[in-house]
Amino acid sequence: MSQRYISFKKSTIFNMLYASGDVGVDYELVDELLDHKKFREYFSGQNKQRWDDVLNGLDENERHIKDVHNDLELLYNDVSYVLNNIRFANKKSHSLFVDLQENIFRLLNYNDCHYDHVRALSNFLFTMFALWSLVDGDMDEDVVQKMIDQI
């Protein structure tokens, strides 16, 4: 599951960069942006326009949002497999996987206005990749990766 999670993150970062208009995506940059601090630095502060470019690309081009949905669907399938086949010793880990599955399901089945969907997707992706939460602020570790490591 750990390799699939990293693969999901790489593919999604690639697709976000591509959606931003960066058609010559540098694979070294993709690997660099796996680090949440570098991701946050690349897409926020003085560089916030880059994140806005990602969101505009997702909003304006159905193909880009479909690419990110495909990444999310693969992650959803992996999370579902884990929930259905792994016995959790830790209830907190199980709860996190259930929450992750529900959040992904909602994003994949969003039936509201396109702009609102992109905004919801933006919040989910930025939280996951930058390890930044509106509630908790800066998070020190990737909780999903930590839970994967515990199973």
CA angle 112, 15, 20 (to 5 degrees): 80
Return d(Cα 9, Cα 102) in angstroms, integer: 18
User: Model's pTM, two decimal places?
Assistant: 0.88
Ordered mean pLDDT values, 10 residues apiece, the chain (151 residues):
90 93 84 94 91 92 90 95 90 90 92 76 91 67 80 76
Closest CA to 144 of 107, 93, 108: 93
Return d(Cα 57, Cα 134) in angstroms, integer: 23
CB-based burial of residue 9 (10 Å sphere; 0-12 exposed, 13-18 middle, 19+ buried)? buried
What is residue 61's predicted lDDT score, i.e. its pLDDT? 85
pLDDT tens for residues 18-49?
999 876 778 999 999 999 999 999 998 888 99
What is residue 133's predicted lDDT score, i.e. its pLDDT? 60
Return d(Cα 84, Cα 131) in angstroms, integer: 27
What is residue 91's predicted lDDT score, i.e. its pLDDT? 87
